[in-house]
Structure 1
Amino acid sequence: MRLHPVVSLALTGLVALATGARAESWNSVTVSWTAPGDDGMTGVASAFDLRYSTSPITAASFGSATRWTSTPAPAAPGTTQSVTVTGLLPSTTYYFAIETADEVPNWSSISNVVSRTTSPMPDAVRPAPLTVAVTSVTDSSASLGWTAVGDDSLNGTVSSYDIRYSTSPITATSWSGATQVTGEPLPAAPGTPQSCTVRGLSREVTYFFAARAVDDAGNLSALSNVPSVTTLDSMPPGPITNLSVGFVWLGWHSSLAIRPRSAEARGR
């Protein structure tokens, strides 16, 4: 009598990567199992049939579940094998089951059924960019003002601000080298006026400022505008300490001649 191979399926976890640098598991699931033999645990089986569905899989519904066509060929009995099922929907529970066949082919009964819920779709929407203005300046500080933006473009509240300054114009390339401000205010609801004072600046120096908003997924907004201002000169001139009084000699020669009065003038 020919023995029918039976495979036991086990889940190893989610391994999908989203675009960008953050690992997410929103559209794929990796399943693993131990390869059975052709006859029980003897010989090598000929094929696997892995199926998945958003409904629990039974022996009766196995044939109507979606077949994963990239399942690997069977390995030697006792070998751990796995495959990643991709193209799944986020935040969705999937059920997985597998059957195996020998060369006849005799198909095994359905394996155990495992399930896994994919993660939510990763947030890839950046906050809207900030528009920053310098509202006042002293010899050692500059006050900045802006209007709060949304988490996803214009919706929701962002998680934090990253405000920086430099004595050189700030660009996306030079952003990381600019000095980060400490004590930025917590973000408010979109449309709310907000402000921050940058302290510890040097007098009579031109500073450039830029800011970015950060959402809860770590997405950075595009770089804001880059306003600049020159801190004031509050240092008065030093006092004069060597003031003194002097004198000047004046002299002259008179060229005025005295003329005698006329007879007519004398008779009066």
Structure 2
Amino acid sequence: MSALRKGFLPLVLLLLLTAQAKADGETRAIASVTATSATLRWTAPGDDGNEGRAWRYDLRFSTEPISGTDSLGWWTASSTTACTGLPDPGEPGSIDSFSVTGLTPESTYYFVLRTADEIPNWSYFSNVAVITTPARQDSMPRNDETPPSPVAGLSAAPAEEGISLTWIPSPDADVVGYHVYRSITGNDFEAITDSPLGEAYYLDTQVLAGVTYYYRVTAIDDSDNESPISEAVSATAPSVAPVATRLLAPFPDPCVNQVVLRYEINEQETYGFLKVFDINGRLVRRLREGRMEQGQYSVVWNMRQDNGRMVSPGVYFCVFSTQRAHSSKKLVVIR
């Protein structure tokens, strides 16, 4: 995969837009900024021009404006906040979005976005998106403890890259986003969204082929009240033949005690290996090596070296190679 070219596809932040479906199925943009939240949208860039997916986003904001052309100074300042729970970049040209909550009413905020490939090579800074949050409405008490209405119309369906979820946007005016919960048994649901989603849609790509997953969704308002959880729906992740011989993104990343490494082989029979190297190129762990056949595979790495010792926190590179293909993914280990 080619390195992402800095500034090759400039990121443009579009503020205050979410999708709302009309009766005829058309989608239109509506304002989505409240006294304590804002939703941002942007067009996903490619890894190299319009080719391939980028690896990650970094979105930051501050109440301090950028002074002149000193974007880097603003980016690294202690007054600038880095957002967590950002979505993975979508296909080039698709629309990605993120909801920022916990803002202060009647305040001006400045947002800047960057993207990177897996090396990582970082893009230039995006344009500066500016918003001013309104005052709280008198009709809405400052200590609002009333949760939103339950989410309705939830549906799940297999998709090319996983399982897609859709639901009816909440009719409550103060709703700022949604949380998605997942289970593989129909019980003991766990949240799979770190921050509220800005749209009534979610694509779950962290699924295994042939496994049935159950989902429920809640709505979040601008006072951080969470609605009752929705009814559960289920879908089975599709089983598809590998389209390429490649290593997929590690999950989770960053990781603490273990990580799942998934790879695909689109060759009838080949020789290959899956190894982990440190940032200096030293071999850390041999996970797979030998004859391999076509299919989809996963390996759990327990963070131990070949000598049995735990690895230190830091950056590592997972390398998958066969006679015809070679790919690598960066992995961050934290404690």
Is this a same-fold pair by TM over 0.5? no
Normalised by the size of structure 2, how large is the TM-score?
0.33
Normalised TM-score (structure 1): 0.41
Q: Which has the higher contact order (CA 8 A, sep 6+)?
A: 1
Task: Tell which structure's C-alpha radius of gyration is larger.
Answer: 1
More strand by share: 2
